[in-house]
Chain A
Amino acid sequence: MPNRIVSNIQNIGHRVIESVWRLGVASRFFILVLLKSGTSLRRFNLVIRELYFTGVLSLIIIVVSGLFVGMVLGLQGYETLQKYGSESAVGTLVALSLVRELGPVVAALLFASRAGSAITAEIGLMKATEQLAAMGMMAVDPIARVVAPRFWAGVISMPFLAAIFSVMGVFGGYLVTVVFIGVDEGSFWSQMQSAVDFRFDILNGFIKSCFFGVAVTAIAVFEGYDAPPTAEGVSGATTRTVVTSSLVILGLDFILTAFMFRGVG
């Protein structure tokens, strides 16, 4: 028995060291991607192609989820607020929760599972089928030609997707509370407008979504590039992308929120 405990402890230690190791490799890879971004910025067509796959194809899920999240917020907020007779504040509730938190966070989570996993699978498959090696043998750097455009496309689309999510959410809340339930339209908007501040709420939400975009795409391209070149390797990497991104998004959200809203409001 003690032997088993020792080996368990060894196992844990081994895994910790392994994770730190991977983090180091990932950071070096991230810097490499940044250094080799010149090509994708000069030949912007490469990025536009990837914008289509990461941004445009994520639109539907973002729009639909945003609408529903906003509608649920509206319903729940109305139920709670009407007990205190302040149901006109439902606009404030919907807008603030979306712009500050739910917009960037939920959009980033959806983005990680829709676009992030696709990026990982694509790069991993290109590696498994030796397309990356072939590119290297053709004197074309795969990081500059394949990884960097995907990275920048992800970084660019994330803030847009988060903004679209928030707008759809506010619209969903408006739909449920004003159109269906009949909360006064004027006070819905005016309460929202007097409570939501451009710099503190909208700009901070925007900054958050930028951070999330960088984090999710960096994880996605790294997991793809680092995937073992087999079918199991690629599927494992895809799962890891979604799990790691989700955890990083939530952790990062806490840190950013603590920085941004500390002692304010």
Chain B
Amino acid sequence: MQRTTMDLWVGLFVVTGVIALMILSLKVGNLNVYNPSQSYVITGNFENIGGLKVRAPVKGAGVVVGRVTDIQFSTQTYDAIVTMSLDSRFTFPKDTFASILTSGLLGEQYIGLAAGGDDVMLKDGDKVMKTNSAMVLEELIGRFLFDKAAKDDSL
């Protein structure tokens, strides 16, 4: 029995398998950018989240800095409480503006963070006070029609 050559092949097979798993994790899944173990959680209340979903990216100046981990409806304020988990390398001032944006015309929705000027930084468990809701297509069209009607009247 050529045990040595067989062992070699099996070893190669296992190494290939492990490498494949690592490629999937690092190159395809991009595991190194977002590591949940070093992160802090903030929340924000939004009047309307549109099509925002759990796991949507949170971006600062277009760079992914975290992800949405939870979306709840509040029965006290009747708006949505969005929980975001941010990479602890990226800290934002307390008066940061969080808005729900869309990438491209039909792209997915994400939360964009625009840094404010406060000296105090957001900590784990903090709440973002300034939020901007998602653009909803019906509202946009409605506003456009309203504007046009107003313009027509003034003529």
Contact = CB atoms under 8 A, between A and B. Distances in A.
A164 B16 contact: yes
A160 to B, nearest CB: 3
Contacts, number: 90
B31 interface: yes
B25 interface: yes
A48 B7 contact: yes
Interface in A151-201: 157, 159-161, 163-164, 166-167, 170, 189, 192-194, 196-201
A55 B28 contact: no
B28 A193 contact: yes
A192 B13 contact: no
B148 interface: no
A52 B4 CA distance: 12
A198 B31 CA distance: 6
Given A49-B6, A86-B104, A167-B24, A160 B16 contact: yes
A55 B13 contact: yes
Contacts of A166: 20, 24, 28
A168 to B, nearest CB: 8
Interface in B17-36: 17-18, 20-21, 23-25, 27-31, 33, 36
B17 A159 contact: yes
A202 B13 contact: no
A206 B24 CA distance: 10
Interface residues of B, number: 31
A56 B55 contact: no
A202 B28 CA distance: 9
A197 B25 CA distance: 9
A74 B14 CA distance: 28
Interface residues of A toward B: which range?
35 or more
B106 A84 contact: yes
B90 to A, nearest CB: 16
B20 A194 contact: no
B64 A52 contact: no
B122 to A, nearest CB: 23
A166 B24 CA distance: 8
Contacts of A206: 21
B13 A59 contact: yes
A164 B17 contact: yes
A49 B10 CA distance: 8
A160 B6 CA distance: 18
A193 B29 contact: yes
Of B6, B18, B28, most buried by chain A (CB within 10 Å of CB) is B28
Contact of A56 (B9, B28, B64, B106): B9
9 contacts: A45-B3, A56-B9, A84-B106, A99-B24, A99-B28, A160-B20, A197-B29, A201-B29, A264-B55
Interface of B: 3, 6-7, 9-10, 12-14, 16-18, 20-21, 23-25, 27-31, 33, 36, 53-55, 57, 64, 104, 106-107
Given A48-B10, A198-B29, A198-B31, 18 more contacts: A49-B6, A51-B13, A56-B13, A59-B13, A86-B104, A86-B106, A160-B16, A160-B20, A163-B17, A166-B28, A167-B20, A167-B23, A167-B24, A193-B30, A200-B55, A201-B29, A265-B53, A265-B55
